[in-house]
Amino acid sequence: MKGTSGAVAALFAVLAGLAAASVPARAQDLPSGFVRLADIDPSIRQDMRYASTDNFVGRRLAGYEGPACILTAKAAKALARVQKTVRSDGFSLVVFDCYRPERAVADMVRWTKSGGPADPRWFPAVRREQLVSAGYVGARSAHSRGSTVDLGMVKSGSGGADPACGAAAPDMVEFGTGFDCFDKRSRTLFSTLPPGAAENRARLVRAMAAEGFVNYSREWWHFTLSGEPFPGRRFDFPVTAE
């Protein structure tokens, strides 16, 4: 009997090994400590611009294999609490970028080096090769640490803002510019804004700050979680959808 049970156990071990070998690693597997935002709060709208062609580069960036917001679990849970706050006032968050692979950051920098004129939609006051020196594109990005997010707010029935510079999501409220408008108007406290824009920026900053997110003063849409879990690391795994 011992020999028989041993043979059966060995057979099951072999079959299990064959099954495991026949199943490739899942594309949705993430490093420890990271989650997909949709698994934490699917009510937050996602408009992932770097996984599309509708961004300042005009094509999908390296490392973006799917349109998904990936964040550290700590940042995603904090963002879900922000969503609960803004929803109580009739708004919803919309995210444009979350975790960003280092290869995508390098892709942006390479693109700027090819040079070109100012672009009225994305960078109306500087040439492409000036974007790094002007501070609009960084050679390193906090996004690669996984606790930084670019986002705005939407409100159903608002009609949506139509910014002259940058990208907007359907029903996005007025912020004075769209996402990734590389211009002084994107500074969070810019003094001359359309009606309601300053109030919406302030509302977003307050809601995010209440859950530990710190705004980058040159971009109203850019926030990093204070006390982030990987402050000294940058990651390069690809962004994949489930």
Catalytic residues: 219
Host H or E run for residue 106:
helix 102-113
Strand partners, 239: 64
Distance, in Å, from the CA atom of 113 to the CA atom of 133, rounded to the nearest integer, reads 11
DSSP 240: -
Token digits of residue 50: 């770097």
d(CA 8, CA 228): 49
For CA atoms 177, 225, 83, 85, the dihedral sign is negative
Cα dihedral value 231, 233, 237, 238, nearest 10: 50
The partner residues of 222 in beta bridges, in order of sequence, read 150
Backbone angles phi, psi at 45, to 5 degrees: -70, 145
The CA-atom distances, in angstroms, between 8 and each of 12, 17, 21, 43, 138 are 6, 14, 20, 49, 59
